[in-house]
Amino acid sequence: MIDRTLFNEDHTLYRDSLRRFLETEVVPHHAAWEDQGYVDREVWTKAGANGFLCSSMPEQYGGADADKLYSVVLMEEVARVNATGLGFGLHSEIVAPYLNRYGTDEQKQRFLPRMAKGEIIGAIAMSEPAAGSDLQGVRTTATRNGDHYVLNGSKTFITNGYLADLVIVVAKTNPSAGAKGTSLLLVERGMAGFEKGKRLKKVGMKAQDTSELFFDNVKVPVSNLLGRENEGFIYLMQELPWERLQIAISAVESAQAAIDWTVAYVKERKVFGTTVSAYQNTRFKLAEAQTEVQVARVFVDKCIELLMVGKLDTATASMAKYWCSDLQCKVIDECVQLHGGYGYMWEYPIARAYADARVQRIYGGTNEIMKELVTRSMGLSVK
């Protein structure tokens, strides 16, 4: 295996500490969280107290001003134990960066320190019943009325939606202008007319509190506008490469975890008097999977290097997202097969990972959309 050169000793110490936290505070409870459909809020405050939330945010706003590699470590370790109920990555590396990059000092002071402590849980509301990967199709509207906006519409498939205290809502402030009329609003729990729908029952990621959100004449103060009016679509496009790379990072680690579980299983499980690992088909299948995951790891690590110097472009991030999530599903499927009937039993981690992985090819922009973005960089866009 190729040694990774991204991380230093401090990152390794952080990884060790995070791994202990997940093994004691998350793994023993995850099955119960899957049954109830969301994680306990207590795990958020514990994570905050241990410095595992918003680590890349500036110290003045409650973060550790750490580099993004600490966030990469968190994503990898969460994926390694398949703790898909935790919305830490989205909270810390999608919602918080929007606030830090586009928010006013007052907004940052009001929200980020409490997000770092786990007192406020963040979400971002893009998808709608009729607008998923196509963000230009958003129908939620925000009409200016004096010192506030009147927000109307609905969102669906919102991660952290059920527990969320703060939601970045994508809305049209100038519907006739298409994408150029999109803005981002900070909607807070308790605002009149803001309601949360049922927790959605999903094929996988059962502990993740995905829900619907409804906005009925919600009065959102103008002071809760994030960035400038009608520039929200630009902001979304600027942040999407990092968001998509996060999916690739977790996909690679999830695939590696599946291989590790399967190697351990086939060395113990016997069929016709010999271990499953003794069969050439088993060894070759695992060799193929490990090779492809290693190739993916090298590519993703290169993407991380580009991100660290501000050179990760949309096309490259799209390649990483689609290819690694496709590979994740392929590898886990092979590993389920090598588990035999037990691979289909929910108490086995490989079965949970199989159900959880499928959505990786859908959210963050479907893999078909990723391919469209890649073709545009090749000069193949349809006119």
Token pair 């009937």 is found at: 341
- What's the token pair of residue 237? 């496009």
Choosing from 77, 93, 212, 243, the catalytic residue is 243
Instruction: Tell me the helix, strand and coil percentages in the chain, rounded to 5.
Output: 55, 15, 30
Amino acid at 288: E
- Residue 226, Cα to own-chain centre: how many angstroms? 21
Measure the CA–CA gap between 113 and 96, rounded to whole angstroms.
Answer: 10
Measure the CA–CA gap between 181 and 120, rounded to whole angstroms.
Answer: 29
Token pair 């994408």 is found at: 179
Closest to 340 measured CA to CA, from 254, 279, 253, 256: 279
Number of H helices, E strands in the chain: 12, 10
Q: Which residues contact 35 (CB under 8 A, 6 or more apart)?
A: 206
**How would you class 308 by CB atoms within 10 Å of its CB: exposed for 0-12, middle for 13-18, buried for 19 or more?**
middle
The H or E element containing residue 217 is strand 211-221
**How would you class 326 by CB atoms within 10 Å of its CB: exposed for 0-12, middle for 13-18, buried for 19 or more?**
middle
Query: Is-catalytic flag, 368?
Result: no
First to last CA, the chain: 45
- What's the token pair of residue 77? 């370790």
Tell me the CA distances in angstroms from 54 to 50, 57, 187, 300, one per residue in order: 11, 6, 20, 22
- What's the token pair of residue 225? 């506008």
Measure the CA–CA gap between 348 and 332, rounded to whole angstroms.
Answer: 13
Catalytic residues: 243
